[in-house]
Structure 1
Amino acid sequence: MIFKQFRINSFFTLFITLILFCGFAIGQSKKQQNYYSLLDSAQTYLDVNPKISAQFLDSIPNPITSNITGRLAYYYQLKGLLNDKNEEPIKQFQNFALALKHAKLEKDYDIAGMVSVELFYNSYLINKDSTAFKYLEDAKSFYTKTNNVNGLAEVSQMYAYIPFDQGDYAKSNALLLSNLQQYKNIIEDQYYYMYALFMLTSNYAHLDNLNTAHYYFNLLKNLENDNTIASALYKSHIVTINNCFAHIQFKQKAMDSVAFYLDASTKMRQSMNSYDVKEYFKLYADYYGQLGNDVAKNNYLDSLSVFNDQLLQKASNASLELNNALVNTDEALLEVTKKRNTNRIWIAILIGAIIVFGTFIALRYKKIKLKIIEFTKRKDEYQFMQTNHEKLKVKVRGLEDYITELKRELRTISSIDNSSEQKEKTKALYKNIHHQSSTFLAKEENYLELINDVNIEFFTQIKAMHPNLNDSEIIICYYLFLGFKNKEIAAFLNTSTRAVESKRYRISKKIEELDSTLTLIDYLNDTFKDSKISVL
């Protein structure tokens, strides 16, 4: 009872420990999940108010790697998109590269495809080398894995953008026109159709086919109120086309048209990216130079110089911030690594303690169980011997009374003077002794109880192994085990040899271990050899 209580208390303690450990782990998980909603909020405000979007991302504390585990690709994707809106190409490239790295680890192939396209675009604009095309091939592979139709459409547009950037406008048009209807059919996101119309307009303008260029430009302007296209994105493409038309008109010396398109660009000044701003200042400088207005021309050239200085300063600051960010990232990773190693050590200690505790409990339980079994066995043997002892006392008293009676009869016979009569009395007494002896033994419960004191272990073991044997069958097994023949057993049991043989046959049927290769005597000698004693 004490051991049972000890075992229950021990298991209860272990159970509580595991519950607390699991609760701590779940609590940590829930704590991390609280930051995931900030990512979704940042996405919501990305196009509407980039500053608020950035504030949501900045609200996620360090270390980022552990606070938004499993969503790091999404986080760096959003950071890169914000960099694009703020015209921070260095930071944009870094964040998209990190997004690609984590997207591969998290197997988020849609994000991996999207940032691969952006990395291609940025790399191609700067280097125009094989590395850029590798990003485009990877993007196609990622989008194919998820069967992302829109993503594959964007990849096909990048293949049209390459000849567009290289000045092979006819080839770019051929690629765009072959897929234009497909782009238009993407109703849920008309950006792809808009971008195709943007490149077609620019291509035909550079091919001096202004009528066709204006046809596609009008189609592009029809998308102004399309709610699947962000207003800022739409305006940025329109202002680029205005600058393009101004450039084409300037080459044709159509100065009124140049002024018209530059005025249209001026009204959309806030929608220009860095490239558009520089083109805008150059075009105005060339325009006023053509008109002979050197003051206005120099003003725009000065504005262009100041803008370039600002871009250079911005790039320098971005590089410095990038270096700081890398240092902070290294420190954060080092801190996370230390915490993880500490957690691993504690987990290993906990597991080791559980194993040691479990082993101790198992060994202790086994030891106590053996003691209980031994005690139970000795208790059964003691009770068996105590019962037999009481029976033997009764037998001894009966035998003493029987011997006293015999002595009394012997004295009576010895007092007879007639020898013939004495002989007859003696013969009758012998028969009576034999008869009374058999009768006396038969009065007991069975022969088994008269002889089992000789070998208690044999009778205990055979009863346990073969509970289907009755007492008379067990006593025959014992005599056979001691080496007696059928005739001898019959004499001991005051029965016939045939009856003994019949019982041996029934015994052989009841013991399932016997077969044609194993006899009853061999089975008994082999099974109970440790119980065998010498016949006195």
Structure 2
Amino acid sequence: MRFLILLFPFFLFAQQKITPTVIDNRLEKSNALLFEGQTDNMIKLNLSILEDSKRINYPKGKVYACYNLALAFSMQYRYNKSNYYLKLMESEFKNLDDEDEEISMNLLYSMNYKGIKMYDEALKKLRKNIVLANNIKVDSTRYSSNAMTLVEMAKNYIEKKSYDSATYYGKRVIEEVKKPKNLNSGLNTSLKIALLILAEAKVKENKIDSAEFYIKSAQSVLIVLGNNEFRTFKLLGEINEAKKQYDSAIMDYKKAIDLAAKVKNLKKLLELYSLMSGIYEKTGEKDNEKKYALKYNTLNDSLKIIEEANLKDTVDLLVEEKQKPMEDRNNLLLYIIFAAGIVSIIFIFLVNKRIRKKNKILNVKEQETKVLTQKLNVAFEEVILLAKNNDPEFMTRFQEVYPNFFPKLLQIEPQLQNSELKFCALLFLNFSTKDIATYTFVQPQSIQIRKNRLRKRLNISSGEDLYIWMKNVNSN
């Protein structure tokens, strides 16, 4: 017996041997903890996984553990800790041959920004993901990445109370999941959440029939969100409350509260406490109204303290991100100054030698055009993608990239409508009649008629190329 006791440490050591397979199994366990909302246990497990992955230099283990830790801390509203592990993940994922890791990182950054109501910064990260996802070669990965990104865009617009945009992106998720022949669990999850977002948008717009349609569609999706089903019960409660079925609404809200408490979603709990207090006010149950109002006030005070602490840390991160392009611009400025000096010397030399051949002048002009094109193409791919998707963000982004185009058109014809300005923008981007018809869902004949009308409005002669005219407007 004593001999066996002496050998016990050796048995224990053998059981604790760390291999990539062991780490992968523990990562699977982490996913289960996430599903159940056990964020504290998830953090403990992934801290251990991270240390063991460092010990055997396992890139996948390090990257996935950092991401899981960032996600868990984000769910606890500890955005400073979440961002710390995202930065650590960023330094590690270059060693991992996984094309969607940057997309996952941007998704989580966007959640952190949304958490402190910096919606525009969150949307910038998500728009970057749309561009990145188009470069993914594996179809299933590309579809999943696009769907998750579009879901988060819809969530941000719900928070911004831009319900039309939220509806637009929710419907785009539905279109995205139609592309593959078979739906995996990730796509089914995105589909269900998108349908719930659509239902929420319709509840906010007081379109209860539409909300019921989307909630029933969400319930028909063969995927279970576990404790995160609180979203479903919350919406059912709001629908029943709108229909004045208060007893059913209270039951739904209580189910939602139980599930939200299990996953520690404090912000949804806060919203649910407010809904419960409000419905008890309608039913005249003063004691219950005060009970939930007190819960709301207590939790609200706690969240304000958390939000104030997180705001500074996340703003510091944003400042750091902004400084990087500023440094790049400073380097570019020095390069431009140096290049300008060189060009000036060459120009003086050419003047002194009286070498002014037409072909060389044309070459110089071509180079200038290329430089201008390069500057304008910083966000060109994104603008083209928004135009092809008929995205509501297209006009805003186009104006950011080409700020002089619309003002110059309006100087020529101040009465141009927004739809006409958008049409001019598509012509400026060299979209053919067929392309414009496809992306705006109209017949090519209608586009040709619009072109003819536009010529009359802007006094463009029939012999002048309409596309070149649009380009010249921006360059004049």
TM-score (norm 2): 0.50
- Corresponding residue of 2:45: 56
Q: Give how far 1:212 is off.
A: 2.0
Determine if the alignment matches structure 1 residue 43 to structure 2 residue 34: no
Cα separation, 1, equivalents of 2:218 and 2:145: 21
Give the number of equivalent residue pairs: 283
- Corresponding residue of 2:227: 232
Q: Which aligned pairs between 1:212-227 and structure 2 lie closer than 5 A?
A: 212-223=210-221, 226=223
Cα 1:253–1:177 change in 2 (3 A) is: same
Cα 1:198–1:109 change in 2 (3 A) is: same
Cα separation, 1, equivalents of 2:280 and 2:53: 52
Cα separation, 1, equivalents of 2:282 and 2:124: 44
Cα separation, 2, equivalents of 1:212 and 1:302: 33
Larger Rg: 1
Does the aligned pair in 2 maintain the 1:160–1:172 contact within 8 Å? yes
Does the aligned pair in 1 maintain the 2:42–2:69 contact within 8 Å? no
CA offsets 1:316-368 (integer angstroms, 9 cap, x no match): 9999x99xxxxxxxxxxxxxxxxxxxxxxxxxxxxxxxxxxxxxxxxxxxxxx
Does the aligned pair in 1 maintain the 2:281–2:289 contact within 8 Å? yes
Cα separation, 1, equivalents of 2:50 and 2:115: 34
Q: Which moved more, 1:280-289 or 1:177-186?
A: 177-186
Cα 1:289–1:194 change in 2 (3 A) is: same
5+ unaligned residues in a row in structure 2: which ranges?
Answer: 1-15, 315-476
The amino acid across from 2:227 in the alignment is: A
Determine if the alignment matches structure 1 residue 111 to structure 2 residue 105: no
Does the aligned pair in 2 maintain the 1:200–1:213 contact within 8 Å? yes
Does the aligned pair in 1 maintain the 2:167–2:198 contact within 8 Å? yes
The amino acid across from 2:26 in the alignment is: A
Q: Which of 190, 204, 207 matches 1:206?
A: 204
Cα 1:188–1:158 change in 2 (3 A) is: same
Cα 1:132–1:253 change in 2 (3 A) is: same
Determine if the alignment matches structure 1 residue 134 to structure 2 residue 132: no
Query: In percent, how many aligned pairs have the same letter?
Result: 13
Q: Which of 160, 169, 174 matches 1:166?
A: 160
5+ unaligned residues in a row in structure 1: which ranges?
Answer: 1-31, 323-536
The SS at the match of 2:59 is: coil
The SS at the match of 2:100 is: helix
Cα separation, 2, equivalents of 1:104 and 1:240: 41
Cα separation, 1, equivalents of 2:119 and 2:209: 35
The amino acid across from 1:176 in the alignment is: G
Cα separation, 2, equivalents of 1:215 and 1:44: 35
Determine if the alignment matches structure 1 residue 177 to structure 2 residue 181: no
Q: Give how far 1:63 is off.
A: 9.1
Does the aligned pair in 2 maintain the 1:288–1:294 contact within 8 Å? yes
Cα separation, 2, equivalents of 1:47 and 1:55: 13
Q: Which of 14, 18, 41 matches 1:34?
A: 18
CA offsets 1:505-528 (integer angstroms, 9 cap, x no match): xxxxxxxxxxxxxxxxxxxxxxxx
The SS at the match of 1:92 is: helix
Q: Give how far 1:281 is off.
A: 1.2
Larger RCO, structure (CA 8 Å, separation 6 or more): 2
Q: Give how far 1:278 is off.
A: 0.4
CA offsets 1:38-82 (integer angstroms, 9 cap, x no match): 542332112433465444323347597565352332221121233
Does the aligned pair in 1 maintain the 2:116–2:310 contact within 8 Å? no
Q: Which of 244, 250, 253 matches 1:259?
A: 250
Does the aligned pair in 1 maintain the 2:227–2:259 contact within 8 Å? no
Q: Give how far 1:135 is off.
A: 1.7
Q: Give how far 1:159 is off.
A: 3.6
The amino acid across from 2:64 in the alignment is: Y
Q: Give how far 1:150 is off.
A: 1.0
The amino acid across from 1:183 in the alignment is: V
Q: Which aligned pairs between 1:518-529 and structure 2 lie closer than 5 A?
A: none
- Corresponding residue of 1:391: none
- Corresponding residue of 2:194: 196
Determine if the alignment matches structure 1 residue 301 to structure 2 residue 285: no
Determine if the alignment matches structure 1 residue 80 to structure 2 residue 70: yes
Cα separation, 1, equivalents of 2:52 and 2:308: 26
Cα separation, 1, equivalents of 2:78 and 2:52: 24
Cα separation, 1, equivalents of 2:292 and 2:183: 42
CA offsets 1:481-520 (integer angstroms, 9 cap, x no match): xxxxxxxxxxxxxxxxxxxxxxxxxxxxxxxxxxxxxxxx
- Corresponding residue of 1:288: 280
CA offsets 1:221-276 (integer angstroms, 9 cap, x no match): 123x53xx55234x143234245436x62xx7664454343244355454562122
Q: Give how far 1:313 is off.
A: 7.0
CA offsets 1:425-468 (integer angstroms, 9 cap, x no match): xxxxxxxxxxxxxxxxxxxxxxxxxxxxxxxxxxxxxxxxxxxx
